[in-house]
Amino acid sequence: MEIFDFNIQTISGETLDLSSFKGKKMLLVNVASECGFTVQYAQLQELYEANKEQLVVIGLPCNDFGGQEPGTASEIQHFCKINYGVSFPITEKVGIIHNTHPLYKWLEEQATEQGITNEVNWNFCKYLIDETGKVTGFHPSSVTPLDDQILQWLVK
């Protein structure tokens, strides 16, 4: 199985087929509206806007860490649009600790196989996927979307 085999529902209930992103890098981020790291939405949007020809950012809301994403789909969508002008894809809420979504199981397994330390232990952890669908990196919440590590990955 590869990342391009996954489909996930968007926050608005449409199917997001990850195979449509073949040839682009992907940054998958578990997001939450009531977290101290929520301000990273602004940088995620900036990164996406500046690089959307080669990159897709995908926000995956999750309420598993501190209950910091308690909202409904429409509340989350409204929050992201009004506060941060988010135009990158946001998915349905996913489980990471509880009822782990198959995509997160796959990400964890692939990163581990690549020797990448990847403990998702809070909101705004970032998986980096290259154009071929390979997991090439993981960054914890403390690494911002515009950090040099992520910007350098984009130009590789």
C-alpha distance across the termini of the chain, in Å: 25
Q: Which candidate in 35, 62, 80, 125 is catalytic?
A: 35
Amino acid at position 20, single letter: S
Is 62 an annotated catalytic residue? Answer: no
Contact (CB, 8 A) for 76 and 45: no
Question: Cα-flanking dihedrals φ and ψ of residue 90, to 5°?
Answer: -120, 135
* Measured CA angle at 6 (ends 86, 74), to 5 deg: 35
Q: How far is CA 81 from the centre of its chain?
A: 16
Active site residues: 35
